Structure 1
């Protein structure tokens, strides 16, 4: 997901997306703990996406 796509989302959509991404990150971490996943970089990119979404949420909250 690109920054322009993130900025286009509403505050509620961002919150929903963060919840979904956190859930998928948790599943990835669990799968990796049980047996190594094929591409462990997915964990890193997922963490970064959550952080970018949370950053945009905070920016929109401050601009209200």
Structure 2
């Protein structure tokens, strides 16, 4: 099972969710899906998101064994 930590990092960042949506040109629904691990950003988006949020790509998600 994959757990998204994107919401956690957004809360700790200087950006709001609407600002992240604007930066990435995505809808609030898309960001919500990223935050709940229903869908995932592309690799380039994940790399950019990690840079914007001041973390590593590895920090954005956590894998918990089945």
Where is the strand percentage greater, Structure 1 or Structure 2?
2
- TM-score normalised by structure 2 residue count: 0.30
Where is the helix percentage greater, Structure 1 or Structure 2?
1
- TM-score normalised by structure 1 residue count: 0.31
